[in-house]
Structure 1
Amino acid sequence: SLAIHLEPGVSPKTVGDSLREQLRPRGEFLIYSQAGLRDEALRIFDRSFAVTALLRTLAIAVAALGVTLSLTALGIERTREIGILRATGASRGQILRTIMTESAYLGTTGILLGLVTGFAVALILMQVINRAFFGWTIDWHTPYPSLIGIVIGMMIACLLASLPPAWRASRLSPAEALRSE
């Protein structure tokens, strides 16, 4: 790669066109102005962000499955405890709400840890990696509407993932649950 610094007032397009014409016999060369290089890098970033969106969707699905399996295992482990609660007067709705509340706490903790980690990684990518590899950085921009949508989506996914184990636990008969151990 070669960088050419132009005097003020000299057109990067004119110089680029002239270089292309002079170098044509030697092959095809990519010639970018600083603005063009930045635009190309941002276009590449946009493509990688599309992959990131796909990975984010996959991560949400895996997280929801993890919550479902964790709460199912926890429900099986706590079958006797749930039976005691039911035998002492806890309604099915109370059991359902208890497990869904636990899921909401689990989801909130995961979301907070994910936000902190995500912001830290973004800051490192912007301030360290970009500067080291490209010699420039991009301005920090927090896409609040998108971020709020992701947080709400994650909470909904977490609560939906808790429904099967919560439903199963709330449907246990006290007698069966107490005999389980």
Structure 2
Amino acid sequence: LPVVYVSEAMVDLYDWRPGTIQTLPVFNERHGSQKVWVAGIFRDYGRQHGALVIDLGIYQLMSGDQQYSGIAIWLVNQADPAAVLNTLRTSIPQFRDQEFMNRSDLRTLSLRIFDRSFALTYALEIAALLVALFAVATGFAGQALLRQKEYALVYYLGQSTTQRMAWISTESGLLLGLAVIWGTLLGLLMSQILIHRINPQSFHWTMDTSVPYFALIVLMLALISSGIAAALLASKRNLNPANLIPALREEW
């Protein structure tokens, strides 16, 4: 039997699983259909309704179709795509008016379309970050106001302004660190649901998880640092010695 390889969508939509024998409709004078053996699955991110790969000679023998709608060229390592394309267009006249796109250009175009589609999402992320920083600032400002007597007492016991700021920095850093770690874990969990559940159900393709550890660590440190800065700026007025002096007075 002829051997075919199918995309993941063929498995989900038509139940063409590896190891099964399926009927491939070919429309010519000799055959109305042809039995084929499904040998394996490949990932195809361009056709979510399904695709299959079959040997060109076998396909032409079954269908009698000698036309091509597209070709793919695999280059050896270190090969220059532009030089190879110029050589092909020079030596093969049929290639002169055809449009070619290499993998890097296709990736760049796809990312540009993706970024344009999710521009609003990025704006919402920035707005959410600003709201979170405002919440951190107001929260620590309120804490500093409520704990003024505590700060005033340690001030009279000899604590300097630098030590009080370091105190606030340590507290805010620990709280923000826990919040950032918790948020990162939740984000990773949601990403796994999107990658391994939503994508296969919606688009009939799968992909591997690639965690950008360096970018995540840099982002986490940036969030913690900006949160500490917001907490210090918001608490600075209430930690001023001029505001701490009357804090221990009791009203009778």
Please list every run of 5 or more consecutive structure 2 residues that lacks an aligned counterpart in the other structure: 1-47, 60-64, 71-106
Separation (CA, whole Å) in 2 of partners of 1:100 and 1:180: 29
The within-5 A match list for 1:81-120 is 81-120=150-189
Query: Could you say what the CA RMSD is over the residues aligned between the two structures, in angstroms?
Result: 3.2
Q: Is 1:7 aligned to 2:54, yes or no?
A: yes
Question: 5+ residue gaps in structure 1?
Answer: 17-38
In structure 2, the residue corresponding to 1:14 is in which secondary structure?
Answer: coil
Could you tell me which residue of structure 2 aligns to residue 139 of structure 1? 208
TM-score (norm 1): 0.73
**Percent of pairs with identical residues:** 30
Aligned position for 1:33 = none
Find out whether 1:72 has 2:108 as its counterpart: no
Q: Equivalent residue of 2:237, what SS?
A: helix
> As a proportion of its length, which structure holds more helix?
1
Greater radius of gyration (CA): 2
Question: For residue 175 of structure 1, what is the aligned residue in structure 2?
Answer: 245
Q: Is the 8 A contact 1:79 1:180 kept in 2?
A: no
Cα separation, partners in 2 of 1:137 and 1:52, compared to 1, 3 Å = farther
- Equivalent runs, 1:122-137 vs 2, <5 Å: 122-137=191-206
TM-score normalised by length of structure 2: 0.54
- Number of residue-to-residue matches in the alignment: 160
Question: How many Å apart are 1:144 and its aligned residue?
Answer: 2.2
Contact 2:149 2:247 in 1 (8 A): yes
Cα 1:59–1:119 change in 2 (3 A) is same
- Greater RCO structure (CA 8 Å; 6+ sep): 1
Greater CA drift, 169-178 or 84-93: 169-178
Alignment of 1:153-172 (within 5 A): 153-172=222-241
Q: CA deviation at 1:143?
A: 1.4
